[in-house]
Chain A
Amino acid sequence: MVPVTVRIPSLLAQVGDGRTTIPVEADTVAGALDALFAVLPQLRVHVFDESGAVRRHVAVFHQGRSAREARRLGAALSPGEVVTILQAVSGG
């Protein structure tokens, strides 16, 4: 596993521990999310819905590309990379 960073939006930081940047160790994007949930288990329901997929209006980015689909959740990570969780642009 390699050291990477998970960035989360302020809405999730409020129900997390206040941090918007969480260092974890993981091999894949999905692994980084699992590592995030190991630290902050309350965030799982906010990222994944009851179907087991990333919520419809939640975006996951890795190296400038969307990684929310199952195929890209398996993408390998290199040391120092960033996985970013964002709310999709929607609503008012």
Chain B
Amino acid sequence: MTTIGVGTEKGAFFLRSGPSWNLEGPALPGWRVTTFGRAPSGDHLLGAASHWFGASIQRSRDLSSWDQVVEGPAWPEGGDRKLHSVWTITPAGSSLLAGVDDAGLFRSDDDGATWRGVDSFNEHETRPGWIPGAGGLAAHRILVDPADPRRMWVAVSAVGVFRSDDGGATWVPRNDGVERTVPDDDKPQIGFCVHRIVADPADADRIWRQEHKGVFRTTDGGDHWERIEEGLPAGFGFPIVHDAASGALFVVPQESDEHRMPVGGEFRVYRSKDGGDSWHASGTGQPAGKLYAGVLRDAMTTDGKGGVYLGTTAGTFHYTRDGGDTWSSLSHVFPRINSVGVLDA
């Protein structure tokens, strides 16, 4: 059975596979659910945020009853940084890393019970120059090399990608070859508005990147990036995912950073079967009518078995279970979807 978490502006919903999808929830109704994660013990975690009441991490054993992590990520009292939301909760060896807005990293070594800031990243020499983008200033994506967990990549919106080769002791911006979004020549190391990165599960140095300014690829861990947009109707978009079963990549192009809608209202998931060399609108069954909605960066994911699941800002939900050959849409419509996670597969 596959359980999919759908994190929305108004709570978390859960889809359980069967003859048809069984819908459960909402959990934490009214809370903006920003991401899903898993503790080493197997407990489920999610990021919950509120316009009024700030952000926290919530924990559950059964996806039904949720308890707040009391000693969650928090910026020091009296400082000028505020915790607006938790954007990612990522395993790193036996630890957990959380990326948050205002941008920073927090680490837990006790199954997610207590968290402390990663000062080497949070006080990086470039930090005074970090400027929020339209979506905030978020450390939203963390990649860890499964063969060497000392090697990590962190993506920060409107700033760029940083790599550590020493377990997080030091971090170096790795964005050469990417077009800058904030072209401030006084800050040449930053100003890259990365939206999402995803690594080849068989080769951590092979990373694909949906950027504000287009789609890029590196084969050397981020030392050099090249543009890969052949066949795409637009370079702008938010999510990019990789299906381990087929090796295919998926993106959802949007028309320019000013409009942020599918080109001509033609909502299409584009697929690359050749590592990003070329792209084509994937399969059959994509929405027949116009759909003027986007897909946010954490709102598309894969299950490693040919399943690709995505939710839109209009609350519609679409999926394929055969690597993008055929697509289906749920008849349910959710609140704005922030995050989609495969919770077990």
| Choice from A42, A49, A55, A87 contacting B56 with Cβ under 8 Å | A42
Chain A residues near B69 (CB-CB < 8 A): 42
- B-contact 0/1 string along A22-58, CB 8 Å cutoff: 0000000000000000000110011101111001011
Chain B residues near A10 (CB-CB < 8 A): 30
Chain A residues near B51 (CB-CB < 8 A): 57, 87, 90-91
Q: How many residues of A contact B (CB 8 A)?
A: 21
Q: How many A-B residue pairs lie within 8 Å, measured between CB atoms?
A: 66
A63 at the interface (CB under 8 A from B): no
Per the bound structure, the CA–CA distance linking A45 and B81 in Å amounts to 14
Structural contact, B70 and A41, CB atoms closer than 8 A: yes
B42 at the interface (CB under 8 A from A): no
A76 at the interface (CB under 8 A from B): no
- A-contact 0/1 string along B46-69, CB 8 Å cutoff: 001011111010100000001111
Per the bound structure, the CA–CA distance linking A41 and B114 in Å amounts to 14
Per the bound structure, the CA–CA distance linking A58 and B56 in Å amounts to 16
A12 at the interface (CB under 8 A from B): yes
Structural contact, A11 and B78, CB atoms closer than 8 A: no
Per the bound structure, the CA–CA distance linking A91 and B10 in Å amounts to 13
Chain A residues near B236 (CB-CB < 8 A): none
Chain A residues near B75 (CB-CB < 8 A): 50
Structural contact, B53 and A46, CB atoms closer than 8 A: yes
Structural contact, A11 and B56, CB atoms closer than 8 A: no
Per the bound structure, the CA–CA distance linking A51 and B31 in Å amounts to 23
- A-contact 0/1 string along B86-121, CB 8 Å cutoff: 000000000000000000000000000000000000
Chain A residues near B29 (CB-CB < 8 A): 14
Per the bound structure, the CA–CA distance linking A45 and B82 in Å amounts to 11
Structural contact, B53 and A12, CB atoms closer than 8 A: yes
Assess A11 versus B52: contact at CB under 8 Å? Given A49-B82, A50-B76, A50-B78: yes
Structural contact, B31 and A58, CB atoms closer than 8 A: no
Per the bound structure, the CA–CA distance linking A24 and B113 in Å amounts to 27
Structural contact, A50 and B82, CB atoms closer than 8 A: yes
Per the bound structure, the CA–CA distance linking A40 and B69 in Å amounts to 12
Per the bound structure, the CA–CA distance linking A41 and B56 in Å amounts to 13
A15 at the interface (CB under 8 A from B): yes
Per the bound structure, the CA–CA distance linking A12 and B28 in Å amounts to 10
Structural contact, A42 and B52, CB atoms closer than 8 A: no
| Choice from B54, B58, B76 contacting A45 with Cβ under 8 Å | B54
| Choice from A14, A50, A57 contacting B83 with Cβ under 8 Å | A50
B residues whose Cβ falls under 8 Å from a Cβ of A: 28-31, 48, 50-54, 56, 58, 66-70, 72, 74-79, 81-83
12 residue pairs of the A-B complex, CB under 8 angstroms, read A11-B50, A14-B30, A15-B58, A15-B68, A42-B68, A45-B74, A45-B83, A46-B53, A51-B78, A55-B52, A58-B52, A87-B52
Further contacts, 17 of them, CB under 8 A, given A45-B56, A49-B82, A50-B83: A11-B31, A11-B50, A14-B66, A15-B48, A15-B56, A15-B58, A45-B72, A46-B54, A50-B74, A50-B76, A55-B52, A55-B54, A57-B52, A58-B52, A87-B50, A88-B52, A91-B52
Counting from the closest, the 9 A-B pairs by CB-CB distance are A46-B53, A42-B68, A87-B52, A57-B52, A42-B70, A15-B68, A11-B30, A41-B70, A91-B51
